[in-house]
Amino acid sequence: MEFNGAEVLIKSLEDLGVDCIFGYTGAAILPVYHALSKSKIKVVINSNEQSSAFSAAGYSRSSDKVGVAIVTSGPAITNTLTSVADAFGDSIPLLVFAGQVPEHKIGTDSFQHISVESVFKDAAKKVIKLSNGDDVEAIVKDAYFFAKSGKPGPVVIDFPSNKQLKIHQYRNLDIMQFKENYHDEKHLSDNQCKNFFDLLENSKKPLLYIGGGLNSVRASNIFREFQNYFQIPVVHTLMAKGVDDERNELNLGMLGMFGTPYANMIIQENDFFFAIGTRWDDRVAEKVGFAIDAKIAYIDINPVKMHQIKSERSPEFSFIGDAATALKDLIEYSKKYDIKMDIDNWRMRAIQLKKLYPLNYNRTSDRLQSAQVIDVLSKKITTEKITTGVGNHQMLAAQYLQMHTPKSFMTSGAFGTMGFSIPTSIGVYFANKNSSIVAIDGDGGLRMNLGELHTIATLDIPIKIIMLNNHSDGMVQNLQDVAYNGVRTGTVRNQDVNFADIAKSFGFTYAKRITDNIEKELDVFLEQRMGFLEIITDSEEILYPKVPAGKSYKDMILGPYIQKKE
């Protein structure tokens, strides 16, 4: 069958099971949008291209599918860069199709032309420039599975407008042949399993450190089987919230600069540190200093990171491969040889630490604390899927919210991108239409993609938004106060803006601003199908605990409110 290139692209996406795309139109991508008009694929038009790619990545983050963004040329490409870099940092599969000037105008200073390869070369897993003789169908279907394979990441495809219009053959290629190209399942040998258990069985204080490489339903189930079998205390990265049920008494929460007190304490006492599917974020690894006397085992699929960690940390055991598959191998070996752990005292120590140093905040202030809001929210959510922006509210959500299912907590980790929460929540909804979606953001981050309130309202998307308005960039302000003796430049907003009124003007029927009565109003808010709740919080609130830059976990500052309980 013969179709133009744009039609072949859309038919290929249909073959791959893509049911929704996110994007923004423009002259250089019009043939593709015209082809979409004849497709059953849902088209979501965001307020800008950055939001489109955030939404597409949110679709990926919260499902086992690959989100797709389709944008035009020039400024659309540069707008999309931030979201692509964000997905790359967090190992999120994503497909971005970028319109481009005709091939004969590339490099001629043509209107709205920029080199896609130059823009994305260090921010994407792969950049593909389609040229006249390329097989569009094969490239698109291969790119989908390549984005998911190994260390996942975004693939950007540069699609010149003449290529979109040129007639191509469509052969209805079987997608399984492309999927199988990336099926390279590596297993631990019996000898490797023995080496691992020689280390584990000799430890008295083992600690599991889990990362986003386990954040899928399959991987989470396998990890929980491993953890239930051995009953080893667990700490996790920001990207791994929900992999283990955080209501588990042996789950000590997030490790790192703003980790929970007990996570940051228990790492100082362990003698066997088992890192699984994590990239060793500098906000975690640099705090260790590894003056602690712990042997290290490390499993991850990324060979580049493995070689880096081997040179820096010298793990006694390492394996490059899928973390879930390796854990399954370890489970089967342990059952075969009836391996058990006698670490009751260590388990009790982990449980004790959680009870001795509970999270806390200023409970006597006459101004609402962001921590208080998140703490109250944590007691009310059940199966909701959460997105956050970046800043103090993000870290408070990571500390207080107890997620118990994988792919239920979506946040920007490696790149720390403000403006992330609201557009990401749109993608999360379209991948999980039967779920309740709650987006949490601060006033700084929400302003950056304020137009997505319009997207949500006009498309009648059932998303509930909590905006914590402290009239400042709180996290940066906290840093300024320490580094520059309280001189705050560029972080304070003296002019008050009623964001609830703005949301109402966009079409939110429930849009409120409050300064108190959190318990009652959150109950009302969570009952809404779609809503916007602006909560005015204390601009002087400081995030605790924290490990100062350049310091180790032993230098953690608990602050004035987290105190040891008798």
Region class of 119: left (phi > 0), else alpha (psi between -120 and 50), else beta: alpha
pLDDT tens per residue, range 202-226: 999 999 999 999 999 999 999 999 9
pLDDT tens per residue, range 458-487: 999 999 999 999 999 999 999 999 999 999
pLDDT bin (cut points 50, 70, 90) of residue 436 is very high
Tokens of 303: 């060979």
Tokens of 8: 């072949």
Instruction: Answer whether 482's CB lies under 8 Å from 489's CB.
Output: no
Cα 495 from Cα 202, distance rounded (Å): 61
Lowest pLDDT segment from 24-33, 121-130, 448-457, 478-487 = 478-487
Domain ranges of the chain: 2-182, 190-356, 370-543
- How high is the pLDDT of residue 560? 97
Task: List the one residue out of 74, 120, 114, 75 whose CA is nearest residue 95.
Answer: 120
pLDDT tens per residue, range 56-105: 999 999 999 999 999 999 999 999 999 999 999 999 999 999 999 888 77
Q: What's 160's DSSP letter?
A: E
pTM reported for the whole predicted model: 0.96
**Two domains, one topology: 190-356 and 370-543:** yes
Task: List the one residue out of 203, 118, 194, 117 whose CA is nearest residue 159.
Answer: 117
Task: List the one residue out of 395, 407, 449, 411 whose CA is nearest residue 431.
Answer: 407
- How high is the pLDDT of residue 431? 98
Amino acid occupying residue 290: F
Q: Which fold has domain 2-182?
A: Rossmann fold (3.40.50)
Neighbours of 565 (CB within 10 A): 9
pLDDT bin (cut points 50, 70, 90) of residue 292 is low
User: How do strand 272-276 and strand 531-536 relate by DSSP bridges?
Assistant: unpaired
Tokens of 374: 């998140």
- How high is the pLDDT of residue 311? 83
- How high is the pLDDT of residue 286? 62
- Rounded to the nearest 5°, which phi and psi values hold at 94? -160, 140
**SS3 for 393-418, per residue?**
HHHHHHHHCCCCCCCCEECCCCCCCC
- How high is the pLDDT of residue 184? 77
182 three-class SS: helix
Instruction: Answer whether 42's CB lies under 8 Å from 70's CB.
Output: no
pLDDT tens per residue, range 245-281: 999 999 999 999 999 999 999 999 999 999 999 988 7
| Segment holding 170, helix H or strand E | none
- How high is the pLDDT of residue 289? 55
Average pLDDT score over residue span 511-538: 97
- Residue 291 pLDDT more than 60? no
Which CATH architecture best describes the domain 190-356? 3-Layer(aba) Sandwich (3.40)
DSSP for 406-454, please give it.
TT-EE---SS--TT-HHHHHHHHHHH-TTS-EEEEEEHHHHHHTTHHHH
Lowest pLDDT segment from 366-380, 459-473, 542-556 = 542-556
| Segment holding 464, helix H or strand E | strand 463-469
Cα 65 from Cα 492, distance rounded (Å): 40
Give the CATH superfamily of 370-543. Answer: Thiamin diphosphate (ThDP)-binding fold, Pyr/PP domains (3.40.50.970)
Contacts of 362 (CB under 8 A, 6+ apart): 369, 371, 538, 541, 560, 561
- Residue 312 pLDDT more than 90? no
Cα 503 from Cα 523, distance rounded (Å): 20
DSSP for 89-128, please give it.
HTT--EEEEEEE--GGGTTTT-TT---HHHHHTTTSSEEE
| Segment holding 541, helix H or strand E | none
Treating both helix axes as pointing N-terminal to C-terminal, what angle do 5-15 and 136-148 enclose, rounded to 10 degrees? 40
Lowest pLDDT segment from 53-62, 125-134, 520-529 = 125-134
- How high is the pLDDT of residue 365? 95
- How high is the pLDDT of residue 511? 98
Task: List the one residue out of 388, 391, 411, 415 whose CA is nearest residue 84.
Answer: 415
Cα within 13 Å of Cα(250), Cβ side: 21
- Residue 290 pLDDT more than 60? no
Neighbours of 495 (CB within 10 A): 5
- Rounded to the nearest 5°, which phi and psi values hold at 470? -110, 15
208 three-class SS: strand
Task: List the one residue out of 242, 239, 237, 197 whose CA is nearest residue 223.
Answer: 242
- How high is the pLDDT of residue 252? 98
Q: Count of H helices and E strands in the chain?
A: 23, 20
- How high is the pLDDT of residue 220? 98
* Mean pLDDT computed over every residue of the chain: 95
pLDDT tens per residue, range 159-185: 999 999 999 989 999 999 999 999 878
- How high is the pLDDT of residue 288? 61
DSSP for 264-322, please give it.
HHHTTT-SEEEEES----HHHHHHHTT-S--EEEEEES-HHHHHHHHHHH--SEEEES-
Check whether the bond before 545 is cis (ω within 30° of 0).
yes
Residue entry with tokens 């309740």: 436
pLDDT: which is higher, 427 or 482? 427
